[in-house]
A and B are shown apart, each in its own frame.
Chain A
């Protein structure tokens, strides 16, 4: 279908963006990659009066190390992240997840900030950000602030973004030798939104997992950290017995939403399969490292 009428502008400063947002409120939408927004407009599911194109704000781009974090600007595209040597080195979880995002043409346009601001619980970036205990950087007329990823995603497509604010970037901790990360998702077709996906970020001491972050996509209303199961795993060796305890815990902890072709119990089952596989992989990789 053809999108409804709207107006368009491309500010060259953040101040202009905030001023326009204040002026138009809900009638304005931020446009970066537009891969979600444009599909919504083409289906006439939304009728904003104004699109504010922020891709002219160069300050919102870039991927760089800042202290002990890797900072990725909101306008970094999925392809930028996929191709980035810095990401490969410092945030390998993101490098693992990137090829799963849709397809190349979409990755060339879609952005880090756009995915985070939209907060789709089936998307890869919100999930990875939560797994890594990343931080979302926001800016508004009142100034800049940071929100931890796990406090940012509140409900289905609902984030901690206040009216008038935009996501300017997000950072993740730098990967260290003690870290193991793994990402896997089950999709009927490559590039589809996954039926279930899991990002694991673990910190080890030898073969002992000091902490294991488990964040699921496609399971809840938001990227879902399985806190109770994480607590059970903390300080343990991820041997077969521990993994089964984790799986049993997940079965109790996860309360998935069904989708068009999968019931809740199927999703729960698939989530546990992913958990078992990734935890086994984590354990195997650490066992291979000489003490």
Chain B
């Protein structure tokens, strides 16, 4: 019934051209067509946040975004973000604080936190908790994640760093 669409999308800085079914969501495309397994699926109804990826500089729920909707867009996954080094300080803070245990929520957490660092560089601890409350973690209880993000915010403020790509 449904035809395949030719999708041109840049993923982690690499242009990709693939034939996709319209029904395939972005995370399935990333994982199954491109073999990038760092983005995870926890619910496929947009609640848990494990699927959080970046499209044209903004975080989205990858499970609620169709691959075909990213025609001509720039998509970045945790692999690309890690490679680019934009949030190396945040990732080090995660490691230092053991803000991850099983690691399944972690790519989504890092993605969501990245946008916080950009959008709210002077976020309070309570604002960090509020911002991150769209990402479910079952292992850490969130305290260490909040610590890691707050440490990064404080360090960036100290360095007077301007955030952003």
Contacts and interface: CB of A to CB of B under 8 A. Distances in A.
A51 B5 CA distance: 13
Given A3-B25, A104-B115, A105-B61, A190 B49 contact: no
Contacts of B135: 103
Main SS class of interface, A? loop
B1 interface: yes
Nearest to B21: A5
Contacts of A2: 23, 28, 44
B64 A34 contact: yes
Contact of B49 (A39, A42, A53, A105): A105
A7 B58 contact: no
B67 to A, nearest CB: 10
Nearest to B116: A104
Interface string A53-71: 1010000000000000000
22 contacts: A3-B25, A4-B23, A5-B2, A7-B2, A7-B3, A7-B22, A8-B5, A34-B65, A38-B46, A38-B65, A38-B66, A39-B64, A42-B25, A43-B44, A102-B134, A103-B134, A104-B115, A104-B134, A108-B60, A109-B64, A109-B65, A190-B130
B23 A109 contact: no
User: A-B pairs with the 5 shortest C-beta distances?
Assistant: A103-B134, A8-B22, A38-B64, A108-B58, A39-B45
A51 B66 CA distance: 11
Interface of A: 1-8, 10, 31, 34-35, 38-39, 41-43, 49, 51, 53, 55, 79, 99, 102-106, 108-109, 189-191
Contacts of A108: 58-60
Interface string B72-111: 0000000000000000000000000000000000000000
Contacts of B64: 34-35, 38-39, 42, 106, 109
B69 interface: yes
Contact of B23 (A3, A35, A79, A104): A3
Contacts of B2: 5-8
Interface in B111-156: 112, 115-116, 119, 130-131, 133-135
A105 B22 contact: no
A35 B115 CA distance: 19
A189 B61 CA distance: 19
B46 to A, nearest CB: 5
Contacts of B23: 2-6, 41
Given A34-B64, A105-B49, 14 more contacts: A1-B44, A2-B28, A2-B44, A5-B21, A6-B2, A38-B46, A39-B64, A42-B25, A49-B1, A79-B58, A103-B131, A104-B59, A105-B112, A191-B133
B52 interface: yes
A5 B68 contact: no
